[in-house]
Chain A
Amino acid sequence: MVGKLLPCIGKYKKYAILAPLMMIIEVTMEVLIPIVMANIINEGILKEDLNYCITWGLIMIAMSAFSLFGGAMCGKFTAIAGTGFAKGVRKKLFDKIQDFSFYNVDKYSTASLVTRLTTDVTNTQNAFMTIIRSFVRSPGMFVFATVMAIRINGPMSLIFAVAIPILLFSLVFLFTKAHPRFKEMLTRYDALNSDVQENLTAIRTVKSFVREEYEIEKFNECTENVRQTQFKAEKIMALNSPIMQLCMYGCMLAIYFFGARFMVIDGMKEGDILSFMTYVTQILMSLMMMAFSSIQIVISRASVARIVEVLDEKIDIDDTNADENLIPCDGSIVFDKIKFSYAKNSDNLLFDDLSLKIDSGQTVGIIGGTGSAKSSLVQLIPRLYDVCGGSVSVGGHDVREYKLKNLRDNVAMVLQKNVLFSGTIMENLRWGNENATEEEVVEAAKAAQAHDFIMSFPDGYNTDLGQGGVNVSGGQKQRLCIARALLKNPKIIILDDSTSAVDTATDAKIRSAFREKLSDITTIIIAQRISSIQDADKIIVLDDGKIDGVGTHEELLATNAIYQEVYFSQNKDKEVTA
């Protein structure tokens, strides 16, 4: 699993190799320095040899400088390799998500994709750095220090044989106990966050029902749960440091005792006891480090799995074999006996053998109740989804024969849930065509009836829209989105309920602009309001994935029951919708 991510390191690979090498320098020096220390005491101070002290003192300074160099270089290389690795992973993940089809996007929630790109990548980066640093350092230190300790005094090293298993056992015990508690705590955390999130979005509802007290109580319950689970988890982890200390102190006492014994019986030297003590610290510390690194890796494993899941996601819409030069020649659309289902199984088909033909340049209205699959039908035209059976053709060719870019550049679609991006209005409109001149942009904005309100802003086309286009109203946003789509200069334009927040008069103006200026473009309008579509060349009544009727307004009004019902619900007593 981890292997999948490793290639992401790319050109930073050499740093990932250099860092542990540098670490070896530091570890070697760190292990050798206590011997030098012992020598200074045993040979220099105890034998009252000042020159020896000075010589070896200087050697030790040199060694420390060397060690410092190794350590600092290792730190630097680790940082380069770690952040480079994270950069690679993040880029690969982001690019993969960009390549997702709508089907893939549906599978993951926005929030989960964002978490994977942010939190999960950070966790992976930290784990990667930990691996580079401590998985050379800790075992290296452990082995070196043990060898050294044995060299100084073999029998006394048996102290470790007792201490290490005790420490390891208690650490494993603690972590296995703590892990489920931490997981529980994170769940509670999520609950708390989503409670705050809900209250932020629904603050008007809370206030208009005067539910502040109720919400505060609910929140207090959430914080109490967090407090309790957090405490439960930390209660276990609080044992960690005292256990470590007890092991350490136990070893020290044992060294005091056996040290005295070896001094009395075998004439062991004082300096050796000092170095021995240093090695004890090093050994126990490296064990702790290994334990903590393992934890971090276990934690990050979940993150790595979530990243790999996205990277392994099979993208179901593929255009690699399509002809680069094939471009839709006109705006005709043919649905030929299509079968379609979001779930990709044939048991629950949304469309079953639906056929429909739209000529180039026609204006087509689609109407039907909620859930009648209006949006699903038009999403097949720019190949946002693939059919399970039958075919959809644009400009005389099956949509699967085109490169996606060629197809979608010619099929503009204004989505129901549309988004503007941060940046100026001009920048947003140029999404449709990066090379559009100012005149072209203004013309598109005029057709979409957006020009007047844009000019009413102090900065006009240079007005900065916040993230998600927060500075404009719903109706204004819809008109900007239409203008953006128009700039693509497409052969087909699809408006999926794109004028629902626009008032009728403006809606009518948009349609007449379309009729005058864009008469050769095939226009498909999905709408709730009959008035939005009644002057279309052809109106399609959809009901539960089936075509219930096709015809002009007059024809349908005469023959189609659903159409009549919708019409009269909106025009009771010849009423008009506004």
Chain B
Amino acid sequence: MPPARGMKFAKPQNTKKTIGRLLGYIGKYKFLLLIVLACLLLSSAVSILSSSFLSYYLDGYVLPNLNKEWAEVLGIIAPPLIFMGVFFVCGALSNYASTMILAVISKNTLKKIRDDMFAHMQTLPISYFDKHTHGELMSRYTNDVDTVREVMSGTLPQLMSSTFNIVGALGSMIMLSWQLTIVILVLTFGIMFLLSAIMKRSGKNFRRQQKALGDVNGYIEEMIEGQRVVKVFCHESSVKKRFGELNDELCDAACAANTYANILMPIMGNVSHIIYAIIAIAGSCLILRGNALMGTAALMSFLLLIRQFYNPITMVTQQMNALLSGLAGAERIFNMMDEKSEVDDGYVELVNAIIDENGNITETKKKTNLWAWKHPHGDGTVTYTKLEGKVELEDVTFGYVPEKVILKDLSLYAKPGQKIAFVGSTGAGKTTITNLINRFYEIQSGKIRYDGINITKIKKDDLRRSLGTVLQDTHLFTGTVMENVRYGRLEATDEEVIEACKIANADSFIRHLPDGYNTMLTADGANLSQGQRQLLSIARAAVADPPVLVLDEATSSIDTRTERLIEKGMDKLMDGRTVFVIAHRLSTVRNSNAIMVLEKGEIIERGDHDQLIDQKGRYYELYTGMFELS
């Protein structure tokens, strides 16, 4: 597993709730868990018995018969040895069984957690992704799931069997000599103080190490990412210097954290030796002075049990850090799962429709090229409205953060089949409008209507399905070119995909790729140029064949010569659809039915090209700006 990168080490905040939810995940394996428990119990019993067995064996079978012939002794010791042998095999088998069952449970549970987390993530609003960096969300899937895995397959069974071992060893010790057991318990109590002091320091240093590691890794990522800029500015030496400082701090912190981790074992091991010596002395006192309170063989067994008693205690202390960071990881996972999903209380659905000669619209399961909004009403009746692509914004006010308004009382109206363009400088709110039509964000006030229906009443999926969006940044997925274009409409045939690529003028470059349409794209299509990616993105929208198209700087990275080549295709694509266009190049928007000039979230001018030129306003300035300058 890749070790933690930039992991935030924090103490869990709400341990009880987190444990409860984790238990909820493994709860359905109750029966299997019981078996695991039984198996762990059995293997602990075997390992404890193996220590106590020595005294019973020597006292009961060997020592009384020392004067007999070997052949005779052989007969006496055979039964207990065979019994133990069977017992040992059982112990090993139950160990194996518990490991296997736990592997099944933990792997299934982890899959379930990952799946649930991903499924929930898909329902989160875009604003959630704006607020969290990718690295942060990624670490939910990597670091945090890893710490939970660690707890489930390592810490949990070890804690259980350690508990059994401690209890079992304690029981056996009491049976052998309660007096010595009291001595042990008193000593252990003292050791616990020592341990908790070490643990406290170790935990503190561990957190310091995680922080330093996060700093170093963050710096590494940023500087490697900006490597070329560093070189162009000859900043190598100052970057090296800063890295050296961070690296020194990491070294110090890691050294302190590792020291505490490293000395835990020798301390526990040797403390158990010291206790061994104390018990040996105290035990011999009991034997020699104490009116035969215990036998020598019993003392020997007792001494063996000391290790059985202290090893699991060491284990538990070692696992405490893993347990804590596992719980913290689980808590972060659950926090993400508790994030509120996108609001979707829409009930208007998009359905395939047939229109008869009287103009009545009826619903059909068949794929027609006609769509209608199915609008159920409170009184049980259902009306159908033909999907046309009429979009209205009425007094819309919106800001990504409520205090910072981006759009102020904005109203606009797009008739079906119209091409509406947005022009304006960066940050004027062009992209924001398209984000709102898609309902990526919720508006603060005002209304957005689609074919006369308030979009909050429309099911989100159906709303978005009716809108084809070509975004400013093209994102491609691992898979073939064919699969990537088909993303627009999953049931599209190969022919339809190729047809769409021809419209977008992508066909010729795709055919030049090593495997044509079957070329694998990896790492977000890194092997394609920005312009080629945009062509694929347009093809994707063409395959989707939606009634409304949103083109957000869809051709910005395509050089003007190529743009002219795809012009025909674009015209064909836009024909008969309502289209929203955002573009820097005025040539792209000139033939729009309406052009909106945006400034600071407000429409300052609107009209078609000729009207705006006549107005001699901002558009006119933009339009003629070049001539003034040249």
State in angstroms the CA–CA spacing of A275 and B4 once bound together: 42
Say yes or no: is A136 at the interface (Cβ < 8 Å to chain B).
Answer: no
Cross-interface CB contact of B92 among A65, A201, A212, A249, cutoff 8 Å: A249
State in angstroms the CA–CA spacing of A16 and B196 once bound together: 29
Chain B positions 29-80 with a Cβ under 8 Å from a chain A Cβ: 43, 50, 54, 57-58, 61-63, 65-66, 68, 70, 73, 77
- CB–CB B280/A40 < 8 A: yes
Say yes or no: is A503 at the interface (Cβ < 8 Å to chain B).
Answer: yes
State in angstroms the CA–CA spacing of A219 and B561 once bound together: 40
- CB–CB A257/B467 < 8 A: no
State in angstroms the CA–CA spacing of A253 and B80 once bound together: 10
Say yes or no: is A202 at the interface (Cβ < 8 Å to chain B).
Answer: yes
Say yes or no: is B412 at the interface (Cβ < 8 Å to chain A).
Answer: no
Say yes or no: is A508 at the interface (Cβ < 8 Å to chain B).
Answer: yes
Instruction: Determine the chain B residues whose CB is within 8 A of the CB of A503 once the complex forms.
Output: 425-426, 584
Say yes or no: is B89 at the interface (Cβ < 8 Å to chain A).
Answer: yes
Interface pick from B174-182, B298-306, B377-385: B298-306
Instruction: Determine the chain A residues whose CB is within 8 A of the CB of B626 once the complex forms.
Output: 504, 531, 576-577
Chain A positions 194-236 with a Cβ under 8 Å from a chain B Cβ: 194-212, 214-216, 219-220, 223-224, 226-227, 230-231, 234-235
Instruction: Determine the chain B residues whose CB is within 8 A of the CB of A571 once the complex forms.
Output: 587
- CB–CB B561/A569 < 8 A: yes
With known contacts A99-B236, A209-B544, A577-B586, A231–B630 Cβ distance under 8 A: no
B82 CB, nearest partner CB in chain A, Å: 9
A40 CB, nearest partner CB in chain B, Å: 5
With both beta carbons as reference points, the residue of chain A lying nearest to B87 in the complex is identified as A249
B51 CB, nearest partner CB in chain A, Å: 9
Say yes or no: is B427 at the interface (Cβ < 8 Å to chain A).
Answer: yes
State in angstroms the CA–CA spacing of A99 and B586 once bound together: 44
With both beta carbons as reference points, the residue of chain B lying nearest to A59 in the complex is identified as B277
Chain A positions 442-486 with a Cβ under 8 Å from a chain B Cβ: 466-468, 473-476, 484
Binary contact track B353-378/A, C-beta < 8 Å → 1, others 0? 00000000000000000000000000
Say yes or no: is A501 at the interface (Cβ < 8 Å to chain B).
Answer: yes
- CB–CB B274/A61 < 8 A: yes
Count residues on chain A whose CB falls below 8 Å from chain B CBs.
169
Cross-interface CB contact of A102 among B54, B121, B231, B625, cutoff 8 Å: B231
Say yes or no: is B487 at the interface (Cβ < 8 Å to chain A).
Answer: yes
- CB–CB A238/B100 < 8 A: yes
Instruction: Determine the chain A residues whose CB is within 8 A of the CB of B586 once the complex forms.
Output: 575-578
A407 CB, nearest partner CB in chain B, Å: 9
Instruction: Determine the chain B residues whose CB is within 8 A of the CB of A210 once the complex forms.
Output: 461, 464-465
Chain B positions 270-318 with a Cβ under 8 Å from a chain A Cβ: 270-271, 273-274, 276-278, 280-281, 283-285, 287-289, 296-297, 299-300, 303-304
Say yes or no: is B413 at the interface (Cβ < 8 Å to chain A).
Answer: no
State in angstroms the CA–CA spacing of A99 and B433 once bound together: 46
B317 CB, nearest partner CB in chain A, Å: 15
State in angstroms the CA–CA spacing of A531 and B622 once bound together: 12
- CB–CB B276/A60 < 8 A: yes
With both beta carbons as reference points, the residue of chain A lying nearest to B277 in the complex is identified as A60
A35 CB, nearest partner CB in chain B, Å: 13
B33 CB, nearest partner CB in chain A, Å: 17
With known contacts A114-B224, A214-B490, A468-B225, A193–B284 Cβ distance under 8 A: no
Instruction: Determine the chain A residues whose CB is within 8 A of the CB of B57 once the complex forms.
Output: 256, 260
Say yes or no: is A409 at the interface (Cβ < 8 Å to chain B).
Answer: yes
- CB–CB A488/B233 < 8 A: yes
Say yes or no: is B17 at the interface (Cβ < 8 Å to chain A).
Answer: no
Say yes or no: is B167 at the interface (Cβ < 8 Å to chain A).
Answer: no
Say yes or no: is B629 at the interface (Cβ < 8 Å to chain A).
Answer: yes
With both beta carbons as reference points, the residue of chain A lying nearest to B99 in the complex is identified as A238
Instruction: Determine the chain A residues whose CB is within 8 A of the CB of B340 once the complex forms.
Output: none
Say yes or no: is B614 at the interface (Cβ < 8 Å to chain A).
Answer: no
Chain B positions 190-223 with a Cβ under 8 Å from a chain A Cβ: 216-218, 220-223
Cross-interface CB contact of B561 among A133, A208, A565, cutoff 8 Å: A565
State in angstroms the CA–CA spacing of A207 and B529 once bound together: 24
Most buried by B among A65, A82, A419, A473: A419
Instruction: Determine the chain A residues whose CB is within 8 A of the CB of B476 once the complex forms.
Output: 202
State in angstroms the CA–CA spacing of A501 and B540 once bound together: 24
A271 CB, nearest partner CB in chain B, Å: 8
With both beta carbons as reference points, the residue of chain B lying nearest to A466 in the complex is identified as B133
Say yes or no: is B88 at the interface (Cβ < 8 Å to chain A).
Answer: yes
With known contacts A197-B134, A253-B85, A45–B283 Cβ distance under 8 A: yes
Say yes or no: is B104 at the interface (Cβ < 8 Å to chain A).
Answer: yes
Q: What 12 additional pairs, Cβ within 8 angstroms, besides A94-B220, A370-B531? A: A57-B277, A79-B262, A90-B247, A98-B236, A199-B122, A203-B129, A234-B153, A249-B89, A419-B229, A431-B229, A474-B426, A531-B630
Q: List 20 A-B contacts (CB under 8 A).
A: A50-B289, A53-B281, A64-B274, A70-B266, A79-B261, A83-B255, A87-B251, A114-B220, A199-B121, A203-B129, A205-B487, A246-B92, A261-B70, A271-B300, A419-B226, A475-B425, A535-B630, A572-B587, A577-B584, A577-B585
